[in-house]
Chains A and B, each alone.
Chain A
Amino acid sequence: MTLIVEDLRVSSASQPILRGISFSLQPGQVLGLVGESGSGKSIALAAIMGLLPSGFKASGRLQLDDKQLLGLPEAALCQVRGKEIGFIFQEPMTALNPLMTIGDQVAEAVAIHDPVGDANAEARDILRQVELGPAIISPSRYPHQLSGGQRQRAATAIAIAAGPQLLLADEPTTALDVITQQGILSLLKRQFSGSNMAMVFVSHDLALVARIADTIAVMKQGEIIETGAADQVLSAPKHPGTQSLLAPPRLAKAAAAISPEPPLLSVKNISVDYGAMRAVDGVHLDVDAGTCAALIGPSGCGKSSLARAVMALHPLSQGEVSLAGERFSAPGYRPKQAQRRDIQIVFQDPFSSFNPRQSVRRILSEPYCLRSDRPSDSALTQALERVGLSGDDLERYPHQFSGGQRQRIAIARALIPQPKLLVLDEAVSALDAPVRAGILGLLAQLQREERLAYLFITHDLGLLEGFADRVYVMDQGRIVESGPAQRILSQPKTRYTKALMQASPHWAAP
């Protein structure tokens, strides 16, 4: 299988989106397509699949072996999709049918392109290939009964079920934590050893792509700005755009003196239950004023449950949270309205953080319920300017902003009550490297200027170096290791912390 892309151009309403990109792919090769969000990576994939949204026009040459894909009628494209080209999407939960067992879904994909033969037996074989064999997990499970990593394995199984020669993967590991990420990467790698399959792997994370790709093409504003062997691009990037993708996401922070005063936030032995499930189990945690405490752990370890409990958004089963020396949350106790001023939160997903029907002005006016004054134009403009946006944005709606801009709006909203502590629940995890660096820079600046404290929740250890003062490592609802950031990052004690560190693509081994 050979894929040749030559001068591929895509435009929408005469607005160019891809400005002529070219690359070719030989059997057994992996091409990493990297770029910040909005650079046209996903559009390029959609063009290859023939799945461009309506109103998009493509031109150029897209050749798969001897077939010219551009302009092929839909019926002929259906024969190509799945059978010759397989896809893996970013969010496996939306790619899988929630009402079908994974065994049936793989068998269905097998049967569509190979109606004779025992589809179920073949499906079991394929599931075994992606390490979801019957010994590990029953094929009669439904997607919601699988973990995030297992779902992505199941989606991979469906993608390779018909034996495609080309695999297109669109950010397949972005939604997963670092340890699971590594599992999927090594799984994909194994699929390639000794096969003729080729793959285009799209991601915003250059360090991650370099682990799997042979060749890397870096995209920016619809063009390929740099191509080369993976290690070469990673170790000696030529184009400044590539360098900015590689720029370490961590930032030097202001030296925060460890103060003798009592901790701003003190969490004592709290537990949180969801029905019969104990999500947080006897956690102790302190955050001092003006410092950053990091809470790390894989997805599903209870980090977000802990965040909600600390914010008194979910009742505690036991223990106590106190803020600035006063009781804030305890079983049967809800904080007073005035206490909520001191602690605010920024969520991971910048898309669900806002009511889609409210303008930025209304969004930023809401937290004024915690203040004595009324929102004025100048105050709201100032709030936006503080996070690097402008007053002109007040009348716009959330969907008119990019992910990074929305996260800035979320930070602006959280700052309006003038809190002493900001809980950042994976607040930068969904952003690409340059945008993330911008947000982290803003956070560091706010910390210096306002003596703001952070509870920084993340699954990616690489972000923490130089930013966190204390680190808490969480696994299965418990804190397994805690201490000063420098000590934890240089001499991790538990095997679990070591595994987390090795799995982080941003972590340069000490």
Chain B
Amino acid sequence: MTALKIGVFIIVMLVLAALVSTIWTPHDITQFNIPGRFASPSLEHFLGTDQYGRDVLSMLMEGARTALSVAIFAVAIGLVIGVPLGLLAAARGGWLDLVIMRGNDIIFAFPAILLAILFTAVAGPGTMNAVLAVGIFNIPVFAQLSRGAARSLWQRDFVMAAKAMGRSDFAISMDHIVPNLLSLLAIQASVQTSLGVAAEAALSYIGLGAQPPVASWGRMLSEAQTLFGYSPALMVWPGLAIVLAVFGFNLLGDGLRSVLDPREAA
């Protein structure tokens, strides 16, 4: 329960920061202020300024927006495409199941981050392509999860009774399978979001994610790296933000599991 509460708290703070950044940030991060660069934390700049004199707190807030939107849209891609594929594979079985699941295996066979790099390198860097690159890997995750759980539900008596009433595979999937998958999907979505945050940071770190002037934690980290000797604090803040976000979504996932899935709670 405490895990869930801490996770929810962290995520609410991040989401608030991201939402506020769409209408207001303490400073405009597109304005350079060379004389005021490398400022220490002060009332004017809570977390100081970077090598161009931009306010670090403002950049972190915008970075939260980038990280969360990439991760959440990527999970949405996984849910919208993966779950129906999994349900279809479970309902029909046979060759369709085989084709869908072997397709999953092909995607699983590549290290996710490598293929995401390849994808963005070919399709061009940018926030939209980062969403697609991360989202593709969420498809087999959700497909496999929902297929496995759905297959065991298809063996249950209440599904047998519905089949005996002549209900279609689609109707059974909607009425009997999906409602019983929801808690499982919520847990997995939370875990995948944390992976998405990390993946977005990694892509931006090597310059393939969000492009300037959009702020991103990963790029803040890579720019600060060359200045490590001069101003180590610039590296600490985005690093901390990434760790906190990943940690928060994982706590949420674990917490949901113990609340929604009593078998794991023991």
Contact = CB atoms under 8 A, between A and B. Distances in A.
Given A349-B157, A354-B158, A355-B158, A369 B175 contact: no
A313 B166 CA distance: 10
Interface string A346-358: 0101001111111
A311 B160 CA distance: 9
B166 A345 contact: no
A369 B180 contact: no
Given A355-B176, A357-B179, A369 B158 contact: no
A213 B175 CA distance: 48
Interface in B155-169: 156-158, 160-167
Interface residues of B, number: 16
B97 to A, nearest CB: 15
Contacts of A311: 160, 164
Contacts of A366: 162, 165, 167, 175
Contacts of A353: 157-158, 161
B166 A340 contact: yes
20 contacts: A311-B160, A311-B164, A313-B164, A337-B166, A343-B164, A344-B164, A345-B160, A347-B161, A349-B157, A352-B157, A353-B157, A355-B158, A355-B176, A356-B180, A358-B179, A366-B167, A370-B166, A410-B161, A413-B161, A417-B165
B165 A357 contact: no
Given A340-B165, A366-B167, A355 B160 contact: no
Contact of B164 (A345, A356, A358): A345
Given A347-B157, A349-B157, A355 B164 contact: no
B165 A370 contact: yes
A355 B179 contact: yes
Contacts of A335: 166
Interface of A: 308, 311, 313, 335, 337, 340, 343-345, 347, 349, 352-358, 366-367, 369-370, 410, 413-414, 417
Given A366-B167, A369-B171, 8 more contacts: A335-B166, A345-B161, A345-B164, A355-B180, A357-B180, A366-B165, A370-B165, A413-B161
B155 to A, nearest CB: 9
Contacts of A369: 165-167, 171
B67 to A, nearest CB: 34
Contacts of B160: 308, 311, 313, 345, 347
Contacts of B176: 355
Interface in B51-79: none
Interface string B171-192: 1000110011000000000000
Nearest to A345: B164
Contacts of B167: 366, 369
Rank and list the top 7 A-B pairs by shortest CB-CB distance, nearest first.
A340-B166, A347-B157, A337-B166, A352-B157, A357-B179, A353-B157, A355-B158
A370 B157 CA distance: 19
A504 B161 CA distance: 30
Contacts of A357: 179-180
Interface in B137-168: 156-158, 160-167
Contacts of B157: 347, 349, 352-353
A337 B168 CA distance: 10
A352 B158 contact: yes
Contacts of A367: 165
